[in-house]
Each structure stands twice: as structure tokens, then as C-alpha cells.
């Protein structure tokens, strides 16, 4: 009799456990149906983190005053680093300073970098050094040849804004945050809601050392945005100093596009930094620096079409959905238009997959 009661109680307990499991499965299923995971990929400095910032600005209430204030020292760091790379470029190009005092200022910048103190508040003597260096004709000559050495894209923006940044009450603007360069280490996530769908967007490190950490972690993403910088066709990687940046990005795209984890994943290709690309084309730079076989005219239309073609040809998966946009990630208005179109495409794909569209 006692055994019968024990068995009945065990059955009831197991039934309760089964019910809870089924209930959790149903909750997870509903959550999964209402959640869309989107992955942001690209080589280092392609602009993908800027795209994530734009998503936060457009769909996640942007940056609070505290967010902006917390980035102030990082802006100081970007200013010092930008000048350091320009000075290094001058040395490489064997360009001389126009002013004798610039030599002393140059030594100061190198000393700050050597001490890793570039993110400290900008003191008056540092501001004076940066200001005089930025107006030095030798420095400006180097900037006119910036395609011949590495200089971060933020350099012009921040160095043109030295007076504003030096203000004791300086608070970074949203535009400053968009130009701010901080290497992505690990994974950064932004969440927002559109049309009853929760969007989870992941930005992962693009440097070579970071890539192996993420490739297998996102096999359940609905779509991925791959960002490449068109303007880097005439630049080499910082990591090795020899590999063409656009070629590296193309190889990474090929690996991602044909990876077993992303076989059924739609890809949205952002050919980014179109403004810088157009500037280089107008200056007579040739896409043959990256692709020797290119035989078209050296203009934006022909060269950008060829880049687009090279990326599409990298796909080896039949019937894979790939969409392409030319972008300038620091232009919020343009990016909002592209992102709205992109999210609509992904949402339509999600609903079709669920049989709801």
C-alpha cells in the first residue's frame, strides 16, 4: 500500500517536472520567435562599431550625458594618437617641420605615447603643442599624402576641433562619439525593440587575434551585416604592415560567407567609408593598388562596382541572399535610411521563415 502511494507521488512529481520543462520550452520558443539576433562583422577599423553606435542613436535612445562625459578621456587619447601617427608618417616620408618649435612638440607627443599617458586630461602645454603641430606646413604636407601611411580616420575631425576639445567644460558630442576609435575586444551587444520584435545586435572584435573567439558562437543569428571599408584599397594592415586591407577584408568575407555556421544566414554587405573612397578616386588613386587585374576607369562608379562584384564572387553557397549598400557610417541620416531598409529585409526573412509572411 505504502509502495503504491510512493509510486503515485513520484509520478505526480515527475509530471510536475515535465510540465515545467514543457512550459519553459514554450516560453523559450515564444521568446525566440520574438527575438532577432543580428551579427556585425568586419575587419578592424572597417566602421562596424560605428554602425552599432548608429543603431543605438537611432533605436536605443542614443547616448546619455553620462555616456558622453565618460568618453572624454578616450577622445583625448584619440587626439594624441592621431598626431603620433601623423608624425610617424612624416618620418617615413622624410618630411621636415616648417617650424623649429615643432621639433620640441614632436618629442612631447612621443614622450606621452611612451608613457601610455595619452588618455589623461589635456593640459595647456599639450594643447599648445598639438595646435602648433597641426598648423605646421610639414604636418599638413603629410596629411595631403595620408594614403601613404597609417593615420586613423578620426584625425581630421578631432584635430580640427582642438579648441572645442580643450575647453575645460568640454563634453563630447554625438558626432565625436561616432568618430571615436576604440578597438572592439570581445563582444558588445545593443538591444532595442521594433514592431514587437526584440533585436539583439552583436559587435565582435575584427582584429585577427579576436576572430577565432567568435566564429562558432553565433550559429543561430538570423542575419549578419558585414562591413568593409572601400577606402582602404590603398592601405595595409597595422598587424603586419604588408597585407592590403581591402584584400584582407575580402578574404574574411569569403570565410564568413561560406562558413558552415552561416550557410543559411542572409548577409547584408556594407561597402563603408564611401566618402573617403570618393575622395581618393578624385585624387587619382587607382583600385589597381588592390586588384591589379582591374582595367576600368579610375572613378567611383566603375571602381565601386568592381569591389562589389569581387565580394559577390566570394560567395560559394547557391541561392544565398546577399544585399549590398554603399555607406558612410558617420552620417546618421544616410545610415538610418540604409539600416531601416536592412532591418525590413531581415524582418521579412524572419517572418517568412516562421510562415507568417
Residue 204 counted as an annotated binding residue? yes
Centroid of chain to Cα 325? 15
Write down the pLDDT at residue 212: 60
Would you say 113 and 82 are in contact if contact means Cβ atoms under 8 Å apart?
no
Q: Which residues pair with 322 in a beta bridge?
A: 267
Q: Which residues pair with 40 in a beta bridge?
A: 203, 225
Residues taking part in catalysis? 45, 50, 181, 203, 207
Residue 229 counted as an annotated binding residue? no
Q: How far apart are CA 333 and CA 326, in angstroms?
A: 14
Three-class SS of residue 320? coil
Residue 50 counted as an annotated binding residue? yes
Residue 178 counted as an annotated binding residue? yes
Cβ-proximal residues to 65 (8 Å cutoff; 6+ apart), any chain: 171
In total, the chain counts a number of residues equal to 357
C-alpha cell at 238: 597595422
Sheet bearing 187-194, strands edge to edge: 187-194, 197-204, 35-42, 223-229, 266-272, 322-326
Residue 155 counted as an annotated binding residue? no
Q: How far apart are CA 288 and CA 235, in angstroms?
A: 12
Would you say 38 and 203 are in contact if contact means Cβ atoms under 8 Å apart?
no
If phi > 0 it is left, if psi is from -120 to 50 it is alpha, else beta; for residue 186 that is left
Write down the pLDDT at residue 180: 95
- Tens-digit pLDDT string for the chain (357 aa): 455 555 566 556 656 655 665 665 455 555 566 788 888 899 888 999 899 899 889 988 899 999 999 999 999 999 999 999 999 999 999 999 999 999 999 999 999 998 876 666 788 999 999 999 999 999 999 999 888 888 999 999 999 999 999 999 999 999 999 999 987 777 788 888 877 788 888 887 655 555 565 665 666 788 889 999 999 999 887 777 678 999 999 999 999 999 888 888 889 999 999 999 999 999 999 999 999 999 999 999 999 999 999 999 999 999 998 999 999 999 999 999 998 888 888 877 654 443 322
Q: How far apart are CA 311 and CA 267, in angstroms?
A: 11
Q: Which residue from 304, 228, 320 is spatially nearest to 267, judged by alpha carbons?
A: 320
Residue 131 counted as an annotated binding residue? no
Write down the pLDDT at residue 25: 46
Write down the pLDDT at residue 229: 96
Q: How far apart are the two ends of the chain, measured CA to CA in Å?
A: 57
96: burial class by Cβ within 10 Å (0-12, 13-18, 19+)? exposed
Residue 222 counted as an annotated binding residue? no
Q: How far apart are CA 38 and CA 343, in angstroms?
A: 9
Strand positions, DSSP E, 208-289: 223-229, 266-272
Residue 187 counted as an annotated binding residue? no
Residue 206 counted as an annotated binding residue? yes
Three-class SS of residue 272? strand
Q: How far apart are CA 87 and CA 81, in angstroms?
A: 10
Q: Which residue from 307, 258, 310 is spatially nearest to 286, judged by alpha carbons?
A: 307
Amino acid at each position: 500500500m505504502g509502495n503504491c502511494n510512493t509510486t503515485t507521488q513520484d509520478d505526480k512529481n515527475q509530471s510536475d517536472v515535465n510540465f515545467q520543462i514543457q512550459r519553459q520550452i514554450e516560453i523559450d520558443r515564444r521568446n525566440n520567435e520574438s527575438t532577432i539576433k543580428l551579427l556585425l562583422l568586419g575587419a578592424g577599423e572597417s566602421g562596424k562599431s560605428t554602425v552599432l553606435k548608429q543603431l543605438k542613436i537611432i533605436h536605443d535612445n542614443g547616448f546619455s550625458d553620462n555616456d558622453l562625459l565618460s568618453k572624454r578621456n578616450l577622445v583625448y587619447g584619440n587626439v594624441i594618437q592621431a598626431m603620433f601617427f601623423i608624425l610617424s608618417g612624416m618620418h617615413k616620408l622624410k618630411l621636415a617641420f616648417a617650424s623649429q618649435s615643432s621639433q620640441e612638440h614632436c618629442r612631447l607627443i612621443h614622450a606621452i605615447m611612451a608613457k601610455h599617458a595619452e588618455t589623461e586630461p589635456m593640459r595647456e602645454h599639450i594643447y599648445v603643442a598639438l595646435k602648433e603641430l597641426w598648423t605646421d606646413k610639414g604636418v599638413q604636407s603629410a596629411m595631403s599624402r595620408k594614403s601613404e601611411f597609417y593615420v586613423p580616420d578620426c584625425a581630421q575631425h578631432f584635430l580640427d576641433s582642438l579648441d572645442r576639445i580643450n575647453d575645460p567644460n568640454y563634453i563630447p558630442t554625438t558626432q565625436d562619439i561616432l568618430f571615436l576609435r576604440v578597438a572592439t575586444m570581445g563582444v558588445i551587444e545593443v538591444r532595442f525593440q521594433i514592431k514587437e520584435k526584440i533585436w539583439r545586435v552583436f559587435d565582435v572584435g575584427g582584429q585577427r587575434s579576436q576572430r577565432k573567439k567568435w566564429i562558432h558562437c553565433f550559429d543561430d543569428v538570423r542575419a549578419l551585416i558585414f562591413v568593409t571599408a572601400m577606402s582602404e584599397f590603398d592601405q595595409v594592415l597595422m598587424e603586419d604592415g604588408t597585407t592590403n586591407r581591402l584584400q584582407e577584408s575580402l578574404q574574411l568575407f569569403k570565410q564568413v560567407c561560406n562558413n558552415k555556421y552561416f550557410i543559411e544566414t542572409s548577409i547584408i554587405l556594407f561597402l563603408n567609408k564611401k566618402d573617403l573612397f570618393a575622395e581618393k578616386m578624385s585624387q587619382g588613386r587607382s583600385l589597381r593598388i588592390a586588384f591589379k587585374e582591374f582595367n576600368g576607369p579610375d572613378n567611383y562608379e566603375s571602381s565601386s562596382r568592381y569591389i562589389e562584384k569581387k565580394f559577390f564572387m566570394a560567395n560559394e553557397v547557391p541561392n544565398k541572399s546577399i544585399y549590398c549598400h554603399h555607406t558612410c557610417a558617420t552620417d546618421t541620416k544616410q545610415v538610418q535610411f540604409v539600416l531601416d531598409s536592412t532591418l525590413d529585409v531581415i524582418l521579412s526573412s524572419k517572418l517568412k521563415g516562421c510562415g507568417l509572411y
